[in-house]
Amino acid sequence: MDNDAQITLGDTVRPADSHPTKKVLCIEDERFIGELYIRALSKAGYDVTLEVDGARGLTLAQSDAYDIILLDLMLPNVTGIEILRTLRDPNKTPHLKAKIIITTNLEQREDVRQDIERQADGYIVKAEMTPRELVDFLNNID
Amino acid sequence: MASSSDYLSRTKRQYLTSLILMLLAANVILIASWITLKTYLHLNDLGYSIALLGVALVLSFSLAIILSNHLIAPLRALWQLVINITPAGGLPPPNIDQLKIGRELVADLSAKVLQLTMTVANAPNQPGSELSVNFVANNLPLPLFVLDPVETIVFANVAAGKYIGISTADMIGKNFYMVLDMSFPSENTFERWLKQVKTSSATATMSWERVRLNVLDNHPTLLFDLAAYYNKDNPEHYETMAVLFDHTKQYSQDDQAVSFVALSVHELRTPLTLLRGYIEALEDETKDLGNSDLSQFIEKMNATAQQLSVFVNNILNVARVDNDQLQLSLNEENWRNIVVDAVNAISLRAKVRGITIETNIAPNLPSVGVDHLSIYEVINNLLDNAIKYSGSSKVIKVDAHLSKEGLVETTVQDFGLGISPSIMPNLFTKFYRDHHNRSQIGGTGLGLYLAKAIVNAHGGNIWVRSKLGEGSVFGFSIQPYASLAADNKNSDNKEITRGAHGWIKNHSLYRR
């Protein structure tokens, strides 16, 4: 759904109020991509936090304060795959309410990719999805 | 205790004594006959000689028979014994007590033969031979696994532990497929072979090339050839034996070609992501300005970025096809949705060139068994070609229907430049492009090559009809899901995995 179409539905209703504001953690080391995602997601009423470092991203993710985690795979310090594994390990992350969406431009071997997909709630090739299409995708993941 | 050689010399003495006694007896009889003939018969010299010769002849024959019976008796006893202990048998054991000559020698030899056969029969249970088998298996410089009838590892040698990186103690008692997550270059996997031979064969052997061990990302991938031996009736339940021949270095050089492309693709995709993102942001920010020129520029930028995105995926997939690494997961899909999605995705590119795509999809098409992303790229590439070669024509027709053979057939028709008959045979070859149009029309000659590989991997066909100056029709057929599923009814999984000669997972355990 186009966000602007939602705004015109009622001038007193902000899109953020149409559903409880969802908190998104975007762990993405390519800052420009991160900025584009913040722009599109904020406009659609999401509350977005951007983190460019893998280690800090993992700490934030483990705080369990987010509804959605957008996780790049190639990250400095701690890779996305390590973050994913830590978040899915009940000994290291006892509780995680967030849906984990992998966002990457990396091409994996099919079986490696399937292994990652099994552990995540979504898998997106960034070049195949514009920020607006990403918003549509996130609106429909529940 | 007397030795065999004592028995031999004793037998020799017995033979000698018997011979001397018999010869002496023969002489005595001859002398007696001579005296008797002389005393009681009055013959002339000739008759006398003939009579004596007759007695000598009878005597010689009798002695020869008696002697040969005595001499052959020990040999016969041994013969009877050997026949008696052979598996076929057929004779009772010899009665050695009746032997007059060589009894001890025959008894001694019989005992030795019996002992020898017992040793051979009990050989595997002897501690010495057990040790030698273990020694060979343990120190074989190739990873070796022995499996029981339910594919539990009952033995793994030192080399196996080292190769897999798990101690042999940790492997034993575990399911083979859990320890070794293997992928095979064809659908004839180890597991499939084993299932089949278990129902049909007592023993069997098989080998596979280019088997891949799937490991987590921080371990190097192992590539090897695999040989297996199956023996249904092994009393110890050592039913299956698998030996690995490592070729990681050799085979991974092929992989590196793909890795290089994959890395290049990543480097191309990052700026592409940004381009597409900023074009969209620009579109958002400028749409209220009402500047139609600006809107058109942005649309064209967008279409170009999309085209680049298709190209980037094409080079990656061509590298996969060429290196046997394109893997398809065929799922039940609604064909109408896929065609409509593909047409919508390319409509912007058609629009900026003023081309309309007319879509006609037959109602009630059966669902199809396809790999969504790959088959989408087939339609995308055919449409991309149709747009490129439309010339001044402004219509492209997409048609999907059920063929007479019961296949789902899809055609993409343009009314543009057409293809000259001379180049038609090479159309689906990699890097092949129409040299007449090469200077005017961009492209790499990868699209049709890839489309053919993907359609073939789906078990379908792709074809073209064209007339120079009138346009071209590209068509391809794919199977309805029902017939595909019928072909794979042994599979316990809804998903069917295929390679464009690509990697096939060994075990459903690891499929999604």
Structure confidence by residue, pLDDT tens digits, A123-140: 999 998 999 999 999 998
The DSSP code for B143 is -
Alpha helices in B188-291 (DSSP H): 190-200, 248-286
pLDDT value of residue A13: 40
* Residue A17 is assigned to a structural domain of this protein: no
Give me the residues paired with residue A104 across strands: A125
Mean pLDDT to the nearest integer, B25-54: 83
Contact state of B262 with A132 under an 8 Å Cβ cutoff: no
Using the Cβ of B58 and the Cβ atoms of chain A, whether some distance falls under 8 Å is answered with: no
pLDDT value of residue B78: 84
* Residue A41 is assigned to a structural domain of this protein: yes
pLDDT value of residue B434: 58
Name the band, by pLDDT with cuts 50, 70 and 90, for residue B216: low
Name the band, by pLDDT with cuts 50, 70 and 90, for residue B492: very low
Rg (CA), chain B: 44
Residue B241 backbone phi and psi in degrees, to 5? -125, 130
Contact state of B269 with A36 under an 8 Å Cβ cutoff: no
- In angstroms, rounded to a whole number, what is the distance separating the alpha carbons of residues B277 and B218? 32
- Give the residue among B480, B445, B438 at the shortest CA–CA distance from B459: B480
Mean pLDDT to the nearest integer, B413-431: 84
pLDDT value of residue A28: 95
For the ranges B108-112, B359-363, B404-408, the lowest mean pLDDT is seen at: B108-112
- In angstroms, rounded to a whole number, what is the distance separating the alpha carbons of residues B392 and B402? 31
Using the Cβ of B502 and the Cβ atoms of chain A, whether some distance falls under 8 Å is answered with: yes
- In angstroms, rounded to a whole number, what is the distance separating the alpha carbons of residues A78 and A54? 5
> Would the pLDDT of B438 be above 60?
no
- In angstroms, rounded to a whole number, what is the distance separating the alpha carbons of residues B116 and A79? 68
Name the band, by pLDDT with cuts 50, 70 and 90, for residue B415: very high
Residue B42 Ramachandran class (φ > 0 left, ψ -120 to 50 alpha, else beta): beta
For the ranges A58-67, B125-134, B378-387, the lowest mean pLDDT is seen at: B125-134
Of B217, B268, B277, the CB nearest to A36: B277
Q: What is the mean pLDDT of chain B?
A: 82
Interface probe for B, chosen from A29, A82, A105 (most Cβ of B below 10 Å), is A105
Give the structural domain span for A102: 23-137
Residue B261 or B88, more confident: B261
Using the Cβ of A128 and the Cβ atoms of chain B, whether some distance falls under 8 Å is answered with: yes
Mean pLDDT to the nearest integer, A32-57: 94
Alpha helices in chain A (DSSP H): 3-7, 15-18, 31-43, 54-62, 80-88, 110-119, 131-139
Q: What is the mean pLDDT of chain A?
A: 84
pLDDT value of residue B499: 55
- In angstroms, rounded to a whole number, what is the distance separating the alpha carbons of residues B262 and B230? 40
pLDDT value of residue B472: 93
* Residue A1 is assigned to a structural domain of this protein: no
Name the band, by pLDDT with cuts 50, 70 and 90, for residue A41: very high
For the stretch B200-211, pLDDT in tens is 888 889 998 888
Q: CA nearest B310 in A: which residue?
A: A128
CATH classification at residue A121: 3.40.50.2300
192-251 of B, contacting A, C-beta below 8 A: 214, 216-217
Q: CA nearest A134 in B: which residue?
A: B277
Chain A / chain B CB contacts < 8 angstroms: 69
> Would the pLDDT of B168 be above 50?
yes
- Percentage above 90 pLDDT, chain B: 23
Name the band, by pLDDT with cuts 50, 70 and 90, for residue A96: very high
Using the Cβ of A127 and the Cβ atoms of chain B, whether some distance falls under 8 Å is answered with: yes
Q: Can you spell out the DSSP letters for B286-306?
A: HGGGT-HHHHHHHHHHHHHHH
pLDDT value of residue B433: 59
Using the Cβ of B273 and the Cβ atoms of chain A, whether some distance falls under 8 Å is answered with: yes
* Residue A131 is assigned to a structural domain of this protein: yes
* Residue A2 is assigned to a structural domain of this protein: no
Query: Which residues of chain A make contact with B457, given a CB cutoff of 8 A?
Result: none
pLDDT value of residue B509: 27
11-70 of A, contacting B, C-beta below 8 A: 30, 32-33, 36, 39-40
Mean pLDDT to the nearest integer, B255-282: 86
Name the band, by pLDDT with cuts 50, 70 and 90, for residue B487: low
* Residue A59 is assigned to a structural domain of this protein: yes
Max mean pLDDT among B46-60, B229-243, B277-291 falls in B277-291
Helix, strand, coil share of chain B (percent; to 5): 55, 20, 30
Number of domain units in chain A: 1
Using the Cβ of B154 and the Cβ atoms of chain A, whether some distance falls under 8 Å is answered with: no
Query: Which token pair is A76?
Result: 């400095």
Query: Which token pair is A115?
Result: 């292994």
Angle, vertex CA B266, rays to CA A101 and CA A40, nearest 5: 45
Contact state of B265 with A105 under an 8 Å Cβ cutoff: yes
Max mean pLDDT among B76-85, B162-171, B386-395 falls in B386-395
Query: Which residues of chain A make contact with B274, given a CB cutoff of 8 A?
Result: 30, 32-33, 36
Name the band, by pLDDT with cuts 50, 70 and 90, for residue B275: very high
Give me the residues paired with residue B228 across strands: B206, B242
For the stretch B276-329, pLDDT in tens is 999 999 999 998 888 888 988 998 898 888 888 888 888 888 887 877 677 777
Residue B218 or B466, more confident: B466
Helix, strand, coil share of chain A (percent; to 5): 45, 15, 40
Query: Which residues of chain B make contact with A125, given a CB cutoff of 8 A?
Result: 269
* Residue A10 is assigned to a structural domain of this protein: no
Query: Which residues of chain A make contact with B327, given a CB cutoff of 8 A?
Result: 110-111
